[in-house]
Structure formats: structure tokens, C-alpha cells
Amino acid sequence: MEELIAGAQDLRIPLTPEHVAALQHYQVQLITWNERFNLTAITDDIGIQVRHFLDSFSCLLALEAGERLAGKAIIDVGTGAGFPGIPLKILCPGIRLTLLEATAKKVRFLRHIVGELALKDVQVIHQRAEALGQEPRHRERYDWAMARAVADLPILLEYLLPLVRIGGRALAQKGEGAPSEVQRSEWALRQLGGQTRRLVPVDLRGLTETRYLVVVDKIAATPIQYPRRPGMPAKRPLTEA
């Protein structure tokens, strides 16, 4: 796990032996399950450590000075095999984590790995984001809604912002096209009650491309018509005509 430890140091994130042991077990389980269920295209040790674990850790760069995640309600939308949510839970065990995933085989793996790692205060939900965003128990209940590699930003915001309380934030992990995606999202932000806070560039050990964290403030209630029914955000993104 040397690449992981060194990369975490680059991000100024100290890893304890307990963190490393948990992440190593996670890696082994992911590789084992992936042989049967095709959970991720990234299957080599270094790829998992950099593109899954370190990439998840980088979400902590979105925090303001002195800000902590302990006690916060966080939802990871379209989490797949648990990224970024589970690595963040390993580092910050005090968060109240919800993992949202629509694919059944990935939900089975999530429930398995949450049990294997004995993670407390983690809820795994098999649901689409459009449906969950209309449920009173989840709508505007979260301090942070996070996602990576799920959809273009105007679409993704319609998944995330209905779940975020006023005063909370959404976080989208994006690639080099993030600045242009943010520009194309201004109309969606106005419709959904959001406002761009900042873009945080992220350089990860072993990757040549710069990634970005797009941080959005929830400044007003999301109108009740959003999110629209499943499939509509992707079919008709909220971009100004």
C-alpha cells in the first residue's frame, strides 16, 4: 500500500495502520467480487489505490479551514462500489453516511463490504436519485450530497441538490472539463436553489490530468417539481434554451 500512503501524504492526510488495514481489506474484497460481478473497470492494485481511494480522499480538500465532517449527514449518490463514501467513512468514522446506488449487484457488494469493515451508521439504499429526492425522509435532509463520474453537471445537480438542506453543500468530482461544465450549469443552479462556491483543483500522484472538486452551496429550497421523474434529468437537462 506504499503508493496509497505516499499519495495520502501528498494530500496532507495521515493514514493510521488501522486505516491502511481497512483499505487493504476493501481492495481485496473489491478485486474478488469484481471477478464475478464486474463492479469496476479499475482492477489493479495501484489503480484502485489512486483512482478509487486517493480520489475519494481528495474530497476532504473541499472543506474550509477548521471545518470537520464528524456528525454530518452525507449521501453518496451513484456510489457504485462505494466511492467516495466508504473511504471517507474509514477516515472520518463520525459521519452519518448514506450510500445510494441503483444497480442491484453493486448494492449487494456495498452491504457486504459495510459488514466486512464493521462500519457503523451507514445506510445502503437501492434506489434511483430522482425517486429518493422526492421522499420526505431524504429530501433536503443532508449536509453534503456527493457524487463522482455519474453525469454531466447540469444533470448531476438535479440529482444532488434536492437532497441537500438549505445551508448544506453539494460536491461533484469532475475531470478537466469542470470549468466549462460549471458555466453550462448556471441556469440549473438558479432553478434548483444552488450557487457555485468554488472549484478546487486536485492533482493525484500517478495521474497526469488535473481533476476538480465542484463545490455548490444550497442557498434556497429546491422547487417541488425537482427532481423530475426517473430518466428525465438525463433526457432533458436543465440548460437554458
Share of the chain above pLDDT 70, in %: 100
Which amino acid is located at 136 in the chain? P
* Model pLDDT for residues 19-74, shown as the tens digit of each residue: 999 999 999 999 999 989 889 888 888 889 998 999 999 999 999 877 889 999 99
3-state helix, strand, coil in the chain (%, to 5): 40, 20, 35
Block residue for cell numbers 463520474? 149
* Model pLDDT for residues 160-205, shown as the tens digit of each residue: 999 999 999 999 999 999 999 999 999 999 999 999 999 999 999 8
DSSP state of 91: H
The pLDDT value recorded for residue 241 is 56
pTM of this prediction? 0.95
The pLDDT value recorded for residue 166 is 98
| Mean pLDDT value across the chain | 94
CA distance readout (Å), 3 to 50, 204, 220:
8, 11, 42
CATH of 2-235 given 2.160.10.10, 1.10.3720.10, 3.40.50.150, 3.40.190.290: 3.40.50.150
